[in-house]
Structure 1
Amino acid sequence: MYIVSRPKPLSEGQHQVLTKEDASIYPPGYQRFLQRFGEGTYRGWINVQLPDSEVLRPFAGYGLWECDAESPITERQIGECIAIGTTVDGDYLAVHPQTAGLLWLPRHSEHIKAISLQAWEQKDDGGYALVMDEIYRQVYGSSPKEVVYYEPWTGTRSHLFLRLEPGQGQLSLPELAGACQVDFPPDLFIENPYTCFLFYRQLGGYVRLNYAYQQEVAIFYEQDAGQAFAVLEQWLLSKGCKTIS
């Protein structure tokens, strides 16, 4: 698994809270994953977070999800759930102390989904990344295809947004991505029809080219990687990008 920037260890207080929790209610490897890498975002998809018993409490009375006979939990139990992750789309991954397995509370559906991890019960080997891939498979019906990476929340990340100015003879965004790879070979490369990521350890971050919007370029970098950032910024400006204020 590629780690985008230096992991941010849990504070002593966070560590003590986590170790006091009953490990049996959490998915295999979850606690050790947090202790090793800290909180962050996995594959740009799901946020791995410390247990939060408060965030879902107000939802118990909202009627957002149907809690009929087929629901894995009652509406009252929604407020008792402990959230351990959220997605970029606003879905919640949670556990309930009296309910086996994981619960998926989707942002854009009325039905709470029970996620079974029976095959993982005897595999508590710290492989929470594999567990998250299984969660993805059960939720979306397919396996994630892109490279495995994790982006720790360091609290020291900066960013710069740029716009590739259109014009005659100007590079397209995919062409710009290709030129960047030649001049600055990345440590990790991910590309799909919508976006391209070029990861650099010297940055503690990446260059993101938004193919969907055709013009947006962004640099995400650690604050102590100023020199590497400045070199990439000047190169992008030389290729026709303009800084967005």
Structure 2
Amino acid sequence: MYIVSEPRPLSDGQNQVFGREGATVYPPGYAKFLQRFGEGTYRGWMNVQLPDMEVLQPFAEYGLWEHGEDCPITEQQIAECIAIGTTVDGDFLAVHPKTAQLLWLPRHAELVQAISLQSREQDDEGLYAEVLDEIYRQVYGRSQEEAVYYEPWTGKRSHIFLRFPPGQDGLSLPELAGMCQASFPPDLSVENEYTCSLFYRELGGYVRFNYAYQQEVAVFYEEDAGWAFSVMEQWLLSKGCLDPTPS
């Protein structure tokens, strides 16, 4: 698994959260994953967070999900759930400590889903990445094809958005991404029909070419990677990218 920037392991105080409920409440490897890498985003999809006992309590009164015979929990039991992650689309991953169930509470659907995990003998930080991949397959019915990476939330991340106007020397955004990859070979690349992200350890971040919007280029970097960011920014500007920030 590629780690985008320096991990931010949990503090002693944050580690005490697991002592209150007991590690057996949570999915295999979850606690050790957080203890080593800290909170962050897995594969641009799942925000891995410390257990939150309060965030789902108001949802017990919202009537967002159906609670028929096939629902794994009642509407009142939502208030007892502990959220351990959210997707970038707003779905919740949670555990219900009294029934020991791992639950998926979708934002744009009406059915709460119980997640059944295959039993595994090992219990290390790498295991939770496998658990998240298994959850993705169960929820979406397919596997993620792109590389495996994790973005720790360091609190020192900066970014800049640039605009690549159409007609710049006849280049398309995918062609610009290819030129960038050739000039600055990345440590990891993730590309699909919607986006291309080139990861660099010197940046502690990545350059993202937003194919879906056709004109957006973003650079995400750690504050102490100013020199590497400056080199990348100047290269992008030299190729026709524009800073949309008013002067």
Give me the TM-score of the superposition, normalised by structure 1. Answer: 0.97
Residue 77 of structure 1: aligned partner:
77
Residue 209 of structure 1: aligned partner:
209
Q: Distance in 1 between matches of 2:124 and 2:152?
A: 21
Residue 231 of structure 2: aligned partner:
231
Report deviation, 1:15: 1.5
Q: Distance in 2 between matches of 1:32 and 1:183?
A: 38
**Cα offsets for 1:142-181 (capped at 9, x unmatched):** 1111100000000000000000022262311000000001
Residue 96 of structure 1: aligned partner:
96
% same residue: 73
Residue 29 of structure 1: aligned partner:
29
Whether contact under 8 Å (1:65, 1:109) holds in the other structure is yes
Residue 125 of structure 1: aligned partner:
124
Report deviation, 1:27: 0.3
Q: Distance in 2 between matches of 1:142 and 1:55?
A: 29
Residue 169 of structure 1: aligned partner:
169
Whether contact under 8 Å (2:160, 2:220) holds in the other structure is yes
Residue 113 of structure 1: aligned partner:
113
Report deviation, 1:35: 0.2
Residue 184 of structure 1: aligned partner:
184
Q: Distance in 2 between matches of 1:17 and 1:168?
A: 53
1:139 to 2:109 alignment = no
Structure 1: gaps (5+ residues): none
Residue 199 of structure 2: aligned partner:
199
Q: Distance in 1 between matches of 2:168 and 2:129?
A: 45
Structure 2: gaps (5+ residues): none
Q: Distance in 2 between matches of 1:168 and 1:159?
A: 23
Report deviation, 1:104: 0.2
Q: Distance in 2 between matches of 1:63 and 1:108?
A: 13
Q: Secondary structure at the match of 2:71?
A: coil
Q: Distance in 2 between matches of 1:13 and 1:27?
A: 21
Q: Distance in 2 between matches of 1:175 and 1:21?
A: 51
RMSD (Å) for aligned C-alpha atoms: 1.1
Q: Secondary structure at the match of 2:50?
A: strand
Taking a change above 3 Å as real, the CA distance of residues 120 and 101 of structure 1, as seen in their structure-2 partners, is farther
**Cα offsets for 1:32-55 (capped at 9, x unmatched):** 000000000000000000000100
Residue 3 of structure 1: aligned partner:
3
Aligned length: 244
One-letter amino acid of the counterpart of residue 205, structure 1: G
**Cα offsets for 1:75-132 (capped at 9, x unmatched):** 0000110000000010000000112331000000010000001x22544233100000
Q: Secondary structure at the match of 1:44?
A: coil
